[in-house]
């Protein structure tokens, strides 16, 4: 659903409280997207459990239905995909509408570059402002015909019937979406496609391709695959999303007398920056019951309240926590001393400019937060109550909700409709854990 259609959703969170008990947040969004994409182009029937029934992932599902793929569900997180094989997709009758989902659009850019048909992809007002040159330019080097607006934003128009050629691409900046897009294009390419990244990013695409029986080579920071193979249907159990868990990791860390267990969380080593950073700040997080499910490492996370201290965030952790910084900024606001983030210019081109949006909100709540070109300097202090605007960004809305645990007055957060893009049921789940949140 477009963000402009529900702009009146407001959260009101009373100050104080603690987070306790056991909760399981919804399924991992990155893995849910990829399960639909790869299941659709595999041979056979793929079964998915734990699928995230959120608007972003449903947009991916509807896009493949529009291209002739039969998909049952989601029913209680279960999805059944009847794959059509690598070359079985059909031309959609109208543009593919991808809502607020940059992941859908960027990954599909690669997958659709190798098709025989033309396709157009559109999105809501927020997605329509987000940069797509970073995927369009390297895909063009592979032979794809992709048109964007003059400023490099959606809609994207892909002309089919082009011969995609494998290449070795050295990414100028770390981006799992760009890497994944090129690997998906590589499935259709003549020859070998290799991507070298300047810093590690999430590797769900590589892991899942192997789960579907497709050979992927890794050598240090380079991942390669050969085009022209086939994917075999499989079963996927989607772990709980560590990005959604991050709000609770921060909330329980800053709220006195908290002791919370987050169940069945994906702890892929390319995603655990939020755990590493909170621990470096003095956070009390214990990893319990580690196991591997469907090729992905999973564990229960126990987090207890702790006295956090400000740190210079290690630059090697930035790509491992890029989606979690809105919540980490709240941790920094509650920490003793100064927290400095650099090397995170990517945050300025997310669902919002997350550096500026978070700084604006923190300043309204009495925190000394100074945005920089590629990060922020935050001096920990006392959060007051106040009114902030999430600017339609789901992660900003949920981060400021958790801030109320340490605030001196109520926090009101406007424009929260897009929380449903990643975390349906956030209000109910966080209320059960102890957050004093209401939403009309």
Residues with a catalytic annotation lie at 323
Separation of alpha carbons 400 and 394, rounded Å: 10
Token pair, residue 198, equals 């300047």
- State the Cα–Cα distance between residues 64 and 71, nearest whole angstrom: 8
Q: Quote the CA–CA distance of 370 and 8 in Å, as a whole number.
A: 29
Question: What does DSSP say about strands 78-84 and 43-49: parallel, antiparallel, or unpaired?
Answer: antiparallel
Q: What angle do CA 175, 99, 70 make, to 5 degrees?
A: 95
Which residues are CB-contacts of 220 (< 8 A; sequence separation ≥ 6)? none
Query: 274 vs 32, 249, 289, 295, 325, CA distance in Å?
Result: 20, 9, 19, 21, 8
Distances in Å between the Cα of 390 and the Cα atoms of 47, 344, 418 are: 36, 19, 9
Closest C-alpha among 283, 347, 350 to residue 311: 283
Nearest-10 Cα torsion for 15, 17, 23, 28: 30
Please report where in the chains the tokens 């979690």 appear, as a residue. 324
């Amino acid at each position: 659903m477009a963000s402009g259609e529900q702009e009146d959703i407001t959260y009101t969170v009373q100050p104080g409280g603690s987070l306790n008990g056991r909760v399981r947040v919804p399924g991992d969004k990155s893995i849910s997207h990829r399960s639909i994409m790869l299941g659709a182009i595999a041979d056979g029937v793929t079964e998915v459990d734990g699928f995230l029934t959120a608007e972003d992932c449903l947009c991916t599902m509807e896009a493949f239905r529009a291209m002739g793929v039969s998909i049952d569900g989601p029913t209680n997180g279960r999805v059944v995909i009847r794959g059509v094989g690598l070359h079985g997709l059909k031309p959609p009758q109208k543009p593919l509408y991808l809502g607020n989902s940059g992941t859908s659009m960027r990954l599909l850019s690669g997958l659709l570059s190798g098709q025989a048909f033309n396709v157009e992809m559109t999105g809501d007002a927020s997605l329509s402002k987000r940069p797509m040159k970073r995927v369009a330019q390297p895909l063009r080097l592979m032979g794809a015909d992709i048109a964007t607006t003059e400023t490099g934003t959606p809609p994207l128009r892909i002309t089919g019937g082009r011969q995609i050629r494998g290449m070795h691409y050295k990414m100028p900046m770390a981006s799992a979406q760009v890497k994944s897009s090129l690997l998906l294009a590589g499935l259709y390419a003549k020859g070998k496609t290799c991507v070298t990244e300047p810093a590690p990013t999430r590797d769900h695409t590589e892991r899942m391709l192997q789960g579907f029986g497709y050979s992927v080579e890794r050598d240090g920071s380079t991942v390669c695959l050969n085009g022209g193979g086939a994917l075999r249907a499989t079963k996927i159990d989607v772990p709980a999303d560590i990005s959604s868990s991050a709000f609770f990791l921060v909330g329980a860390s800053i709220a006195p007398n908290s002791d919370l267990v987050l169940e069945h969380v994906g702890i892929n080593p390319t995603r655990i920056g939020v755990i590493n950073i909170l621990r470096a700040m003095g956070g009390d997080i214990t990893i319990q019951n580690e196991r591997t499910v469907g090729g992905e490492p999973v564990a229960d996370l126990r987090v207890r309240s702790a006295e956090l201290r400000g740190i210079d965030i290690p630059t090697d952790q930035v790509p491992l926590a890029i989606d979690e910084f809105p919540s980490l900024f709240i941790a920094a606001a509650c920490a003793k001393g100064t927290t400095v983030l650099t090397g995170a210019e990517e945050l300025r081109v997310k669902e919002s400019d997350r550096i500026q949006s978070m700084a604006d909100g923190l300043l309204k709540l009495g925190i000394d937060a100074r945005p920089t070109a590629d990060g922020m300097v935050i001096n920990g202090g006392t959060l007051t109550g106040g009114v902030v605007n999430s600017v339609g960004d789901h992660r900003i809305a949920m981060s400021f909700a958790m801030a109320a645990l340490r605030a001196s007055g109520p926090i009101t957060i406007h424009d929260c409709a897009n929380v449903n893009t990643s975390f349906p049921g956030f209000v109910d789940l966080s209320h059960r854990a102890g957050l004093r949140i209401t939403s009309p």
